[in-house]
Amino acid sequence: MNIVMLGATRGMGRALSRLFAARGDRLFLLGNIAEDLQQSVVDLQTRGSTEVASAPCDLLDADTFRPALEAAERALGRMDVVVVSAGLFAPQEQLEEDYAFTARMLQANFTNTVLFCEQARERILAAGGGTLCVFSSVAGDRGRKPVVLYGASKAGLSHYLESLDHRYRQEGLVTVCVKPGFVKTTMTAGLKPPPFAGEPEAVAEDVLRAIDRGSPVVYVPPVWSQIMRVIRALPRAVMRKVNF
């Protein structure tokens, strides 16, 4: 398949890109740090994908989206799968103290991710269909004290992706919303991992299966599906008392 990835240079995106490469998919990487992109291109070529290219794309600069997607189309011919795993995160306490970063986080995780997806959606549908796989978060499933602001950005994104699936699935756009729980990446470095924390490589395998199956939603690690089912069922009075 022809795969376009925004966010493949680290964490879960990097692990997923390596799985694509190992099975011989053609890859086109998008990112805002040229050195990281080039290192990832070389890494993926050594893992089996001989056709890997890249172009600059900054999730905080919507003007870079169209040129990046045009470059991907020129290189690949068509885009079978577009993956967006890029985003920003900080603990709630830090976000409350740094409104400048909070503004960037909200812009990256919701507004600009949606704008990027809209441009990808248009191109996928114009080519006859394909898959749009976007990383949201379990933080968007329910309002919770530890993730007020980050969770709000992901709640909006999850709502958008569900609506996109309802509207365009019959026209050929397969939308896959990935909802990671706690995964051990650079994004969560410094935070105490819970007993059910996931590893990027195992998470990537679950995401790859979801893409191949066209699953509209996938919780990773899978245990988070059951955890969030319980959390969504708790009364609001209980949610005010717990710190989960």
3-state SS class at 119: helix
Mean pLDDT of all residues belonging to the chain = 94
Phi, psi of 110, rounded to the nearest 5 degrees:
-120, -70
Give the pLDDT mean for 4-26. Answer: 95
Radius of gyration of the chain, Cα coordinates, nearest whole angstrom: 17
Look at the block and give the residue holding tokens 């819970």.
194
Distance CA 31, CA 110 (A): 17
Query: Which pLDDT value is given to residue 49?
Result: 62
Structure tokens at 107: 């812009």
Overall number of domains in the chain: 1
With cut-offs at 50, 70 and 90, classify the pLDDT of residue 189.
Answer: low
Its pTM stands at 0.94
What's the pLDDT tens digit per position in 149-176? 999 999 999 999 999 999 999 999 999 9
CATH number of domain containing 155:
3.40.50.720
Length of the chain: 244
User: Where residue 185 falls among pLDDT bands split at 50, 70, 90?
Assistant: confident
Q: What is the pLDDT of residues 116-128, one digit of tens each?
A: 999 999 999 999 9
Neighbouring-strand partners of residue 28: 4, 53
Domain that includes residue 60, residue range: 2-241
pLDDT of residue 196: 75
Task: Give the pLDDT confidence of 200-234 residue by residue, as tens digits.
Answer: 899 999 999 999 999 999 999 999 999 999 999 99
Per DSSP, 83 falls in state E
* Residue 215 to residue 208: CA distance in whole angstroms: 10
Q: Which residues contact 188 (CB under 8 A, 6 or more apart)?
A: 89, 182
